[in-house]
A and B are shown apart, each in its own frame.
Chain A
Amino acid sequence: MSRQSLTKAHAKISELTWEPTFATPATRFGTDYTFEKAPKKDPLKQIMRSYFPMEEEKDNRVFGAMDGAVRGNMFRQVQQRWLEWQKLFLSIIPFPEISAARAMPMAIDAVPNPEIHNGLAVQMIDEVRHSTIQMNLKKLYMNQYIDPAGFDMTEKAFANNYAGTIGRQFGEGFITGDAITAANIYLTVVAETAFTNTLFVAMPDEAAANGDYLLPTVFHSVQSDESRHISNGYSILLMALADERNRPLLERDLRYAWWNNHCVVDAAIGTFIEYGTKDRRKDRESYAEMWRRWIYDDYYRSYLLPLEKYGLTIPHDLVEEAWNRITNKGYVHEVARFFATGWPVNYWRIDTMTDTDFAWFEEKYPGWYSKYGKWWENYNRLAYPGRNKPIAFEDVGYQYPHRCWTCMVPALIREDMVVEKVDDQWRTYCSETCYWTDAVAFRPEYEGRETPNMGRLTGFREWETLHHNKDLADIVKDLGYVRDDGKTLIGQPHLDLDPQKMWTLDDIRGNTFMSPNVLLNEMSDAEREAHVAEYRANGTKVA
């Protein structure tokens, strides 16, 4: 279709809307933002007549590649270290995708601009595509990869796992609370515009380096839809900026959304890329280098900074602190170590690390070995059952961490942990910003104005609380993370599939699991202060 015809066609399609006079659409999802002064921005000249064949063509390429991968025995060359982490990633990501579809009517309700509704509805269909195409990719992995355990219980595991809950914020944040906070700022302006770069571009590149070219095939196809979604988000953002009353809310939501995305996405994707790869070429970009390129330069400098010309205060301090956490505070390494500590309650296996890995980490993150090397050597030493407990229950100089009440990644940068009594409960936070999110941002009043539509933090937020004071073997059994012989665990701290070297329920029985938050709330003030001081100091101790 020529540009002229496209413009005419789009103008004609825009005639389909009308001003209702008998009744107006129900507002199911409220917002504290106002759009009375908003200019009408129309971001997306998308016509279904061209949309469907375009997507069908993209699908044909994806499914052709999937066919080719099976015929070409791709799994002869796939690194198990890599694919094991996909059991976690692919259990999480279809939910955020489908949640993005569900978020679209929230944005439609909130934004009184029929011109943009069309684009948002098209995005809804895109997201159904993404969710189901990713579920199908996972199914192929389950069918073709040597170890299907973990893939086979994927959505159940996602729903009852500590790491699944961290990832679930990435979907629930899109569909709950203030419609603009959720469906525009958190989903589109930050998650899609910034973090899909690392999710859907950087990570698939790493997959290819590990012999898996299906992840890039599927996720690059997904990413090619994202530019339209980014356009939707930017249009709504500009409309919101037209009203001065929205500015404090925009600034609040940018801080929350940026920080939560950093906490959640960098934790997961950073770990997958750095600890899931076997590609240890010195000139291979580290996650920090990728982040600098994709997030700092492409998003922060090119997208966020120009918003200052509209008078918006950008959270420079939080961007810099995210960078600081990744490069100087070992955020990704701490998360990887935490995941590996918790291996019995994982539904994926985590490989041991080799000297080649150690050398690469030291090259990319100077000082890595002195902080993490010993722990990983212990991990290697304690990898097999029989002579020792799981590493979490052995003395290797590692204290099981407190969970951040807000982002649910533990407070791993221990010197930064915030402890406050909020809503009559002692809660721990990984950072001041996560504390602020719970205590200040997600409240019915913000800076003296009522914000009744803002969401609330709910649910059993500390996963460990559900399993407090239970035997580890019973927890694993209750979660269902047991293989089809009824005793061998799905999660293993190594990749050896020799049944003699795989941990069973009997090997882990006798270890009682305690919730740090329950224990914290049982302490006296003096005990708690001493405990917190020790916890914070532990962050600087060499293991």
Chain B
Amino acid sequence: MVDITDQKTRSFPTIEFTDSEAGALEFPSSKSRTYNYYKPAKLRATMYEDVTVDVQPDPDRHLTQGWIYGFGNGPGGYPKEWTKAQSSNWHAFLDPNEEWEQTIYRNNSAVVRQVSLCLENAKRARAYEGWNHAWVTFIQRNLGAWMHAENGIALHVFTSIQRSAPTNMINNAVAVAAAHKMRFAQDLALYNLDLSEAGIDFDGGAHRDVWQNAPEWQPTRRAVEELTAVGDWAELTFATNIVFEQLVGQLFRSELVMQISARNGDYITPTLVGTGENDYARDLAASRTLFQLLVRDEEHGAANKELFGRWLSTWVPKCLAAAQALQPIWSQPAEKTITFATSLDAAKDKFRTLLEEIGLDIPKELDQ
């Protein structure tokens, strides 16, 4: 029998019924149950708006004492001068994806499950053993090289930008883009690890030399490195998501890998790369909305349009050079189901459509 004579008396707080539920009494503001310091885009505020708007204060809105710390060489907070782009209301931008913590983890976890299941099934089915040598080399070299670009953009483009934009809505959307890129880059790296251990003739370390030295990849590496060197956050967003991703990222992922993998006996790679495409579609939607707003801005739209035109003339040639240099890799697979010209035309067409949606003129370099 258990001895219960020497038990220590436990101390615990007592429950008290306070009747502090909503609606228990009527008094001034007893029904004021919406955040009332901002105007939602539609009649009813979304969850996204409620958890995002005005969390980053702004002296132009409610912040009365100003920023209380400054940098050694300038004001603190989020100076609007950190980009040459201008807006009569930066707060008008709302992320069309409405990303907040639940969407971030739900969406990315769904991708993780999709990728994990795909890779497990591939191992079980010995899917890689059926690949021909040319395809193994293609993946080893080119997908291997590309994952560097994704990782560089994650850490030194999007992570970097999210300190700089003047509103929480822009910065959070970019932070989510960084998370996408980082996850996708790692997925490609871990795929590389799987292939190294799959019992096929796959050199898991070859990607480093290809990225660092292979002539066809150097203009792409140059473009990525030059992107990371841009200090203006809006230019960086524009050059990356509007130009580079269209002319190089989509060209490689969507217009090459997604088109040719199946014909080369590979049903695994498109599943992975498709997740990156899906991420980009979401992130592009946010960037498109942002730059549309800036171009349509009644006060600054014309100046912004001119500015973006200059950014296009800087970045389109660099990205086209990167795209052109990649041409040899279209010849590497055994099954060449699509030509470089077809892929590039498709990428350019999408890019033109995107620029039209934003309201920008089509740069002449695209027609050359």
Contacts and interface: CB of A to CB of B under 8 A. Distances in A.
A121 B151 CA distance: 11
Interface stretch (A363-371, A453-461, A526-534): A453-461
Contacts of B130: none
Interface stretch (B98-106, B259-267, B294-302, B343-351): B98-106
A117 B57 contact: no
Interface stretch (A244-252, A306-314, A495-503): A495-503
A264 B63 CA distance: 19
Interface stretch (B181-189, B281-289, B309-317): B181-189
Contacts of B72: 30, 177-178, 444, 451-456
B225 interface: yes
B228 A15 contact: no
Contacts of A105: 159-163
Contact of A18 (B29, B71, B212): B212
B17 A128 contact: no
A94 interface: yes
B32 A159 contact: no
Q: Which of B72, B100, B175, B231 has the largest number of chain A CB atoms within 10 A?
A: B72
10 contacts: A25-B160, A48-B179, A52-B109, A121-B154, A124-B175, A136-B100, A159-B54, A172-B68, A172-B69, A497-B30
B213 to A, nearest CB: 10
B23 to A, nearest CB: 8
Contacts of B28: 149, 483-485, 487-488, 499, 502
B52 interface: yes
A77 B18 contact: yes
B171 interface: yes
Nearest to A452: B72
Interface string B104-121: 111011011101100000
B140 to A, nearest CB: 13
A201 interface: no
A144 B30 CA distance: 11
B: contact size bracket: 35 or more
A108 B21 contact: no
Contact of A28 (B17, B65, B208, B231): B231
Top 4 closest A-B pairs, CB basis?
Answer: A156-B37, A483-B28, A135-B51, A149-B29
Interface in A438-495: 444, 451-461, 463, 466, 483-485, 487-488, 490
B11 A133 contact: no
Interface in A143-175: 143-149, 152-160, 165, 168-169, 172-173, 175
Contact of B151 (A17, A101, A176): A17
Interface string A200-229: 000000001111000000000000000000
Interface in B84-106: 100-102, 104-106
Q: Which of B109, B148, B211 has the most CB of A within 10 A?
A: B109
